[in-house]
Chain A
Amino acid sequence: MSSAPSTPLIIRARAVTKRFGDFEALQGMDLDVRAGECVGLLGPNGAGKSTFIGCLYGVVERDKGELEIFGYDPAKNPRLIKERLGVVPQENALDEGLTVLENMKIYALFGGLSSKAALPRIQELLAHMSLEHKQDATIRTLSGGMKRRLTFVRALLSDPELLILDEPTAGLDPTVRHLLWDKVLSFRQAGKTVLVTTHYMHEAELLCDRIVILNKGSVVGKGAPRELIEKEAPGYVGIFGHDTESKLSPHLHAAWDVFHQGRQCCVRAPKLEDLMHLQQLSGIQALQLRPSNLEDVYLKLTGRDLDDNE
């Protein structure tokens, strides 16, 4: 783990709860994020990720529990917190009718940059995100990937200590995704702190020191990606085609994990040889054999059926 317990706590959440009518969005959420860490929040839609993020900068007011960001309570001092963080929200929320430069000038102003300091800072970040040639383009003429990159520029304008990314690469092509990952990693190399929510397990594994998995408003698993896999879903997974379960089942070991993904039957066993042996005994070739990964952990901890979460 990259940060010793002695580094200062940037985010400290204890038993944070939030209820919307009958729906308990957060049920006793605990989280520590230390300076310099990148922590990933995973969980199904509706698990409470965005609600928790909203609590951090004061647009969602928690019902109970303790919450401190930079040592301040967001319910009391949201401004002192917001002066030091940058957010990439799920929606870009750029001003579509304005140009790239105009959009960034406004947010530089919001962030407290003087108009003198703003322009060089904006141009530096635009170049950093390969957007310098789009400076005078109107937002609505930009592609989805360009808008997302610009939203990153906006979040970085006031040189934040903490970056909050809410599904930063959803719906983007692989090239843009890699560019953004690279920018997040270099942001981290500067000793800054990142909190990211994502549905891409690969993204979480690549960026994060630690993963926190949320389900139904509380933490169901946490740890470094490799540790989590070792602890919750060790071994190898064989994915078999549909209608294979009846032929496989006589040869399955009771301790193995058997589950379905769509119509496919998946078997997780401690060793790769176990799965090879299963193929021989049942006479069925697996579609894929692979080491278990974060997705297996995620699906195990959050439930594999839709109605577990909806």
Chain B
Amino acid sequence: MNNLLIPLRLSWHVVVRNWMVYRKDFLANISPTLADPALMMAALGVGLSPFIGQINGLSYAQYLAPGMIATTALFTAFFECSYGFYVRMTFESVFKAMLTTPIGVREVVIGEFLWLFIRAALMSTGVGLVLAVMGLLPNPWALFLFPFIGGFLSLPCGAIGLIAAAQVRNINQFQTVYSFLIAPIYFLSSVFFPLDDRPVLGFIVQFSPFYHGVRLLQISAWGTWDLQEILFHIGALIVFTVVLGAWALRRIEQKLTA
């Protein structure tokens, strides 16, 4: 029992540490993750929507809305775990001191995931509330699901960030990861347009965890329940989380120990 509880408590301490540092620059930290989706909604949802016809009976703004929650979760996850973790590891040497305490690398990584889940869940709730106020949620009850889906979606995306943090030789290389991996995932995973009539792209995006999260958010926001599809996306997210999470743990272990 202790073998499970003590590491969990230690992982929680990593969360507490990250929160103490995060709240120092609360406004700066929270701005991009909330401002970006708000701006996107204003430009595309409000500005562009009138020029576009309906998509599956939804206005374009309604179509776009759940994707904004996914956006928040993806960017919170990727930037926190790539740049954020890399800076903590390299420039701030945070782990050189942390690993001299009872905390081990596994607790560090699990702590990062816990921290990420909490942040993404809170951000998803925040964005969801804004969308509800704007009247863009055909199914307002989805508000109760957003924190779980958003948090869950952030885990495999964060794992990609951690793997990148272990892989890059300098901080500029994250730009490449962003341009060739994160941006395509973001723009092509049915956030901006449906993939129903695009079998090739529709097949390719199955291999990105982000797509499955986007679909779960869309299903709950629009209330288009299909149990089989829901279970499929949940299953896919679990598989991605486990595989990418284990890979990230291994790479960070190699990076922080010798």
Contact = CB atoms under 8 A, between A and B. Distances in A.
Interface in A89-118: 89, 91-98, 102, 106-107, 109-112
B93 A91 contact: yes
A87 interface: yes
A190 to B, nearest CB: 20
A92 B96 CA distance: 9
A82 B92 contact: no
B102 A79 contact: yes
Contact of A82 (B16, B102, B257): B102
B20 A98 contact: yes
Given A79-B104, A91-B93, A110-B13, A59 B24 contact: no
B17 A106 contact: yes
Contact of A83 (B16, B99, B102, B256): B102
Interface in B121-154: none
A93 to B, nearest CB: 4
Q: What is the predominant secondary structure among interface residues of chain B facing chain A?
A: helix
Contacts of A180: none
Contact of B13 (A58, A85, A87, A109): A109
Contacts of A298: none
Contacts of B6: 79
A18 B257 CA distance: 13
B21 A57 contact: no
Contact of A93 (B25, B92, B257): B92
Contacts of B24: 97-98
A59 B21 contact: no
B197 to A, nearest CB: 50
Contacts of A91: 93, 96-97
Contact of A112 (B95, B102, B104, B257): B102
B93 A93 contact: yes
Nearest to A151: B97
Contacts of B31: none
Contact of B101 (A18, A51, A60, A110): A110
B100 A89 contact: yes
B236 interface: no
B92 A96 contact: yes
B46 interface: no
Contact of A78 (B17, B93, B104): B104
B258 A20 contact: yes
B219 interface: no
B92 A107 contact: no
A79 B102 CA distance: 5
Interface in B99-131: 99-104
Contact of B98 (A78, A92, A110): A110
B114 to A, nearest CB: 15
B104 A93 contact: no
Contact of B99 (A59, A94, A111): A59
Contacts of A107: 97, 101
A86 B257 CA distance: 18
Interface in A37-82: 51, 54, 57-61, 78-79, 82
A106 B16 contact: yes
B166 interface: no
A45 B77 CA distance: 39
A155 B101 CA distance: 9
Given A98-B21, A106-B17, A110-B13, A58 B104 contact: yes
Contacts of A59: 99, 256-258
B257 A58 contact: yes
Nearest to B97: A93
Nearest to A80: B102
A154 interface: yes
B27 to A, nearest CB: 14
A61 B25 contact: no
Contacts of B185: none
B94 interface: yes
B232 to A, nearest CB: 40
A101 B13 CA distance: 16
B216 interface: no
A123 B40 CA distance: 49
Given A93-B94, A93-B96, A98-B20, A54 B101 contact: no
A155 B96 CA distance: 13
A60 B100 contact: no
30 contacts: A51-B258, A54-B258, A57-B99, A58-B99, A58-B104, A58-B257, A59-B256, A61-B257, A78-B104, A82-B102, A87-B97, A89-B96, A89-B97, A91-B97, A92-B97, A93-B93, A95-B20, A95-B92, A95-B94, A96-B92, A97-B25, A98-B24, A106-B20, A107-B97, A109-B17, A110-B10, A110-B101, A110-B103, A111-B102, A112-B102
Given A94-B97, A96-B92, A97-B24, 18 more contacts: A20-B258, A58-B99, A60-B257, A79-B102, A79-B104, A89-B97, A91-B93, A91-B97, A92-B97, A93-B93, A93-B94, A95-B92, A97-B25, A98-B21, A102-B20, A106-B17, A107-B101, A111-B102
Question: Which are the 3 A-B pairs with shortest beta-carbon distances?
Answer: A87-B100, A93-B97, A110-B101
Interface of A: 18, 20, 51, 54, 57-61, 78-79, 82-83, 85-87, 89, 91-98, 102, 106-107, 109-112, 151, 154-155, 164
